[in-house]
């Protein structure tokens, strides 16, 4: 199979690199959360792509079917989606708290204000 035949893996790689670049290059906490979510979605797509079987059916034993898709990757991704939503909610709550405490969502500004508070104390 050619490289173009694996387009889903190319999409996963591109999303993963965009998410990683966003986390590393931006100082804004919300942008970092968006990058983490992009990275997470790319991992979801990878596992779902690996679990899909062309022509496969749900794993219900029946004489009419011979080829089955493996349900484990899909079940794991459902669990990961729930954990991802909870992690994103926690990250957003922390971002709100950081904004309340420091008046900014930029990482460098928050660190600078923290250093100033420590020196003033």
Does the pTM surpass 0.85? The reply is no
Is the pLDDT at 52 greater than 80, yes or no?
A: no
Q: Note the pLDDT tens digit of each residue in 24-33.
A: 999 999 999 9
- Determine the structural domain holding residue 20 and report its residue range: 3-120
The CATH number of the domain holding residue 59 is: 1.10.287.3510
d(C-alpha 71, C-alpha 115), whole Å:
51
Write the CB contacts of 8 (distance below 8 Å, at least 6 apart in sequence).
Answer: 45, 49
Q: How many domains does the chain have?
A: 1
The pLDDT of residue 61 is 80
The pLDDT of residue 1 is 55
């Amino acid at each position: 199979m050619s490289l173009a035949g694996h387009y889903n893996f190319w999409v996963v790689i591109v999303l993963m690199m965009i998410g990683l670049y966003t986390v590393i290059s931006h100082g804004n906490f919300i942008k970092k959360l968006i990058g983490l979510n992009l990275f997470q979605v790319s991992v979801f797509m990878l596992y779902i792509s690996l679990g899909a079987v062309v022509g496969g059916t749900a794993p219900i034993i029946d004489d009419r079917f011979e080829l089955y898709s493996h349900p484990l990757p899909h079940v794991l991704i459902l669990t990961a989606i729930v954990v991802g939503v909870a992690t994103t909610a926690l990250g957003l709550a922390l971002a709100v708290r950081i904004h309340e405490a420091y008046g900014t969502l930029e990482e460098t500004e928050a660190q600078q204000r923290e250093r100033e508070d420590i020196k003033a104390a």
